[in-house]
Amino acid sequence: MRTNDTNYAIELKGITKTFGKVIANENVSLGIKYGEILALLGENGSGKTTLMNILSGIYYADEGSIYIDGKEAFITNPHEAIKLGIGMIHQHFRLVEVFSAMDNILMGTRGRYSKTGALKEKILEMSKKFGLEIEPDKKVYNMSVSEKQTVEIMKVLYRGARILILDEPTSVLTPQETAKLFAILRRMKDQGNAIIIITHKLHEVLTISDRVAILRKGKVVDTVRTKDTNERQLAELMVGRPVSLEINRPETTNKKTVLNVVDLSVVNQDGTRGLNNVSFKLKSGEILGVAGVAGSGQRELCETIAGLMEAKTGAILYKKENILGKSPDEIINLGISMSFVPEDRLGMGLVGSMDMVDNMLLKSYKKNKGFIIDKKPSRKLAEELVEKLGIITPGVETPVRMLSGGNVQKVLLGREIESEPNVLITAYPVRGLDINSSYVIYDLLNEQKKKNVAILFIGEDLDVLLELSDRILVLCHGEVMGIVDAKNTSKEEIGLMMAGKKMEGVDSDE
């Protein structure tokens, strides 16, 4: 252990980084000691990741200086950062899919390369030391998200990192896996490492960190000791004004089954199982939340209902009529609408290089009579949406990919809602959104629920799922682990189901 108390492991002084006209970090000063866990809290776009990318050599700061162990360091590339003992675990894993765990750990390191023997021993020995579970010969593409993360951590430790940066490490983990990760982090802290964890989940900050630095619009607004703070104060610091953290769950009456999914099985294109005997009923005026680790069959479920994927067996009954085998177009005409927000946000919903007007047209051009397209109704709709949802855009003619994530999602969800669907499927609608925009989206969904729309809400944040949905369906490896009442369940229970524990359902008949 280093004894000098005033000496920081890393000290940032006046860091500024701009991308074109956008200021990502402005005059950021920050310090962290060995044997300490610092949480970096901030909304999306507050500059957390940029700051950490500067530390790990991915970006180079425009201004300011970095001191490591009291000496000024110039981190011009990742190679430099590793030499200085900085290891970053990226949110989107930086792993080579076709390599084994061992090859991923070894790549870029010095020394001889052999596929067996001493190196494997060393890796296994290190994984014991930190409590990591690792199979050196397993290929990354066969791994679960949590296993991949373990490899990422191992990779960084193998390089002898003493300063670890984790970028939103828990966003893809079940609560149990998160607890395991935190145990590992505490162990590393006890061994004298400095750890920075980036997150926007308040309760995690309180569980794991010693100090919290809060970033807002690229600036550090405050640094507080974790034991002197609480969720409310942190949220206020993060957003900049008092916020309510409660999500409404309006009660509706007259629930009827609208969509009845019976024994649905889907096989993916690469031959792997997508869905296996999935059965559930979706009712009008309810939000049915879908929980599960990423890749548990959420995408297959959405795409099968929307008619984009073929089912192997089973049926999807919409008001007693089987919609399997119908084209996406016919399904849309029945009033089943999907707003799917994949990881790259634009993905399947919108065409990024087209403006709002043209994106509105994508859904309505078929109603257009004649040879030449009339853009007027779409323009009117686009303008209405801008006003109603408070979409921030230079104009409806701006390509949607130029808008920020939150605004893109508003455009997408707004268009789907505008077609007055009976069934709305939405996947990750608040992915990457700040607190304010998230609440606008929740309100939009609740408004639809009150209009008796049946909503299938694929989510990733369990806290949100628990507060927003009426019932929660849990998927694991394409199978339904159970459907639970959101009011009478706990995060732990859902976490266990996400990991593969079956529960008695509440998917009762009306």
- Which residues of this chain interact with other proteins, rule CB under 8 A? 19, 56, 58-59, 77-79, 81-83, 88, 90, 93-99, 103-104, 106-114, 139, 141, 155, 159, 270-271
By beta-carbon proximity to other proteins, the closer residue of 156 and 360 is 156
Please return the burial class of 78, using the count of CB atoms within 10 Å of its CB with bins 0-12, 13-18 and 19+: middle
- CB nearer to other proteins: give 111 or 242: 111
Q: Between residues 109 and 191, which has the closer beta carbon with respect to other proteins?
A: 109
What φ, ψ does residue 425 adopt, rounded to 5°? Answer: -105, 125
Cβ proximity to other proteins: between 115 and 225 the closer is 115
Shortest separation between residue 98's beta carbon and other proteins, angstroms: 6
Dist CA 343 CA 30 (whole Å): 31
The Cα–Cα gap between 439 and 414 comes to 14
Q: Is 323 helix (H, G, I), strand (E, B) or coil?
A: coil
State the minimum distance, in angstroms, from the CB of residue 114 to other proteins.
Answer: 8
DSSP-assigned states of every residue in 278-308: EEEEEETT-EEEEE-STTSSHHHHHHHHTTS
User: How many CA atoms, within 13 angstroms, populate the side-chain half-sphere of residue 358?
Assistant: 11
User: Backbone phi, then psi, for 246, in 5-degree steps?
Assistant: -95, 145
Q: Dihedrals φ, ψ of 212, to 5°? A: -125, 130
Q: Which of 392, 391, 385 is nearest to 417 (CA)?
A: 385
- The two tokens of residue 140 are 């990354």
The edge-to-edge listing of strands for the beta sheet with 257-267 is 273-283, 257-267, 313-318, 321-322
Task: Give yes or no for a contact between 196 and 120, defined as CB atoms under 8 angstroms apart.
Answer: no
Cβ distance 315 to 263 under 8 Å?
yes
- Which of 82/423 has CB closer to other proteins? 82
Q: 264 is written with which tokens? A: 């649905």
Comparing CB distances to other proteins, the nearer of 103 and 383 is 103
Residue 90 or 211: the one with the smaller Cβ distance to other proteins is: 90
Residue at 109: amino acid letter: T
In the complex, the smallest distance separating the C-beta of residue 227 from other proteins, rounded to whole angstroms, is: 34
**Least Å from the CB of residue 379 to other proteins:** 30
Closer to other proteins by CB, 344 or 504: give it.
344
For other proteins, which is the closer residue by CB, 149 or 178?
149
Nearest to other proteins of 45, 175 (CB atom): 45
Distance of closest approach, residue 32 Cβ to other proteins, in angstroms: 20
The SS3 of residue 103 is: helix
Closer by beta carbon to other proteins, 141 or else 365: 141
> Is residue 487 exposed (0-12), middle (13-18) or buried (19+ Cβ within 10 Å)?
exposed
Helix (H) or strand (E) holding 156, with range, is: helix 145-158
Judged by beta carbon, residue 134 or residue 323, the one nearer other proteins is: 134
**Cα-Cα end-to-end distance for the chain:** 64
Q: What is the closest distance, in whole angstroms, from the C-beta atom of residue 196 to other proteins in the complex?
A: 16
Q: What's the closest the beta carbon of residue 393 comes to other proteins, in angstroms?
A: 19
String of b and e for 438-452 (b: at least 16 CB within 10 Å)? bbbbbebbbebbeeb
String of b and e for 18-31 (b: at least 16 CB within 10 Å)?
eeeeebbbbebebb
Query: Shortest Cβ distance from residue 410 to other proteins (Å)?
Result: 21
HSE toward the beta carbon, residue 36, CA cutoff 13 A: 19
Least separation, in Å, of the C-beta of 113 and other proteins? 4
Query: Residue 162 contacts by C-beta under 8 Å, 6 or more apart in sequence?
Result: 9, 34, 85, 192, 193, 194
Task: Specify the residue, 167 or 358, whose C-beta has the smaller distance to other proteins.
Answer: 167
Task: Look up residue 487 and give its DSSP letter.
Answer: G
User: Is 216 buried (19+), middle (13-18) or exposed (0-12) by CB count in 10 A?
Assistant: middle
